[in-house]
Amino acid sequence: PDTRHASQLSQRAHAAGKTVMLHLPMAPAGGPYAWRPELPQDELRRRLDDALAVVPHASGLNNHMGSQMTDQQQPMAMLMTTLQQRHLFFLDSRTNPRTLAAATAQRAGLASLSRDIFLDDDPSPAAVARQFAAALALARKQGSVVIIGHPHRSTLELLERELPLLGEQGIAWIDIGQMIATRGNRAMAAHGRGGIYR
C-alpha cells in the first residue's frame, strides 16, 4: 500500500480481471501501514483500513515481511476475524517458522493458504530456476504448490518462459481462488499434520 502506484495498479489489475491482493507490511517492515507488535489493536485496525483504501478491489491479503508479527496470537486472531467479516482471504507468506497466521485463519474458518516455495530469496537466474524446479516437484508430490515471487527481472523472465510450458507437463497454473478451493483450508504436510496447521 505504501508504493507510489498502488491504487493505479490495483485498478488496472481489477479491470483486467486479475485477483488483487493487499501486501500488508508487518514488522520488521516499517511505514504508515505496517503492523507492529507494540501497536494497540485500534491502530492495527486503522492501518488495515487505510491500506485497503489505498488498494481498492483487494480480495485478500498476505504479509509483507512479518517475521516479528505473524507469531503474535492476539493480533493474528483480530486480523483473521476482521478478514472473515470482510469476506477477504489470507495467504501466509510464512516468513517466520513459528507463524501462527495460517493456524489462526484455519481456526477462524477463514479462506486461506500458506506459501510452500519462495522463488527468489536469491534472485539470481540459476537460483530462481532451481526454486521453480523444486516447486514443480512439490506440486507433483503433494498435488499442488503455492509459490511466491517478486518482480525481479530474473523471476519475470523465468515465468514468461516457463508458464506456457506447464500444460504439456501436465501442470495447471491456477489463480489463488481456485487454489483455496483445491486445498480446502487444509495444511500441507510441511505445515501441519492431518490437514491441521501446527
Res. 48 pLDDT band, cuts 50 70 90: very high
Condensed to tens digits (0 to 9), the pLDDT of residues 125-171 reads: 999 999 999 999 999 999 999 999 999 999 999 999 999 999 999 99
- Using alpha carbons, select from 113, 132, 114, 136 the residue that is nearest to residue 122: 132
pLDDT band at 105 (very low <50, low <70, confident <90, very high): very high
Give the pLDDT score at 16.
Answer: 98
- Residues of each domain in the chain carrying CATH 3.20.20.370: 1-114
**1-114: what CATH class?**
alpha beta
pLDDT in tens, 9-45: 999 999 999 999 999 999 999 999 999 999 999 999 9
Categorise residue 48: left if φ over 0, alpha if ψ from -120 to 50, beta otherwise: alpha
Q: Around Cβ 169, how many Cβ atoms within 10 Å?
A: 10
CA 119 to chain centroid, in Å, comes to: 13
